[in-house]
Amino acid sequence: MIDGTEEVQTRTMVRIHNLRLNTLLGVYEKERKAKREVVFNVELEVAKECSGVSDSLDSAVDYSAVRDKLVALADRSEARLLEHLAHNALYALLEDPRITSIVLTVEKPAALRLADGVSVIKSWRRSISLQINEFHDSLVETQTEACEITQ
């Protein structure tokens, strides 16, 4: 039972399921003649301070912005390897300091005979010291902006 004196340890995960995008992908010339479907599944862990304590979008990871980054990446990508596309997608999502870890799966449906598809899984976790420094910097920036607004 939680009586208010104990600190509750929670984790907040944001998941985007089966984001289907078309991109140019493949090693062989026959694969590179037209864009093909790839499927992204993304699991983001967000910083405790951004985990729904506030009801403001400003303090949350905007999953439509995450989707838009992946859409833009797929639109301009000319990756030959699924692994390279997954690598680029992962690094596109690292920019948001509120994201503390990512598990990204990128699937190429029907890429292999007798299989539903082939997928690559990439994962990443922000170091704890970097999380603290980035949160502190964003907190100072927010407090500064709040002071400027009230003056």
Structural domains of the chain, with CATH:
12-150 (3.30.1130.10)
Strand ranges inside 31-150, DSSP E: 36-46, 99-109, 117-125
Q: Which helix (H) or strand (E) holds 84?
A: helix 82-93
pTM (two decimals): 0.77
Residue 141 has, within 13 A of its CA and on its CB side, a CA count of 6
Range with top average pLDDT, 9-18, 24-33, 79-88: 79-88
Q: Which residue has the higher pLDDT, 39 or 97?
A: 39
User: Is a pLDDT exceeding 70 seen at residue 121?
Assistant: yes
Q: Is the pLDDT of residue 133 over 60?
A: no
In angstroms, the Cα distances linking 107 to 35, 54, 88, 134 are 14, 34, 14, 32
Average pLDDT over residues 111-134: 83
- Burial (0-12, 13-18, 19+ Cβ within 10 Å), 97: middle
pLDDT of residue 146: 43
**Predicted local confidence at residue 141, as pLDDT:** 58
Please state, rounded to an integer, the average pLDDT across all residues of the chain.
84
Q: Which stretch of DSSP H or E encloses residue 15?
A: strand 12-23
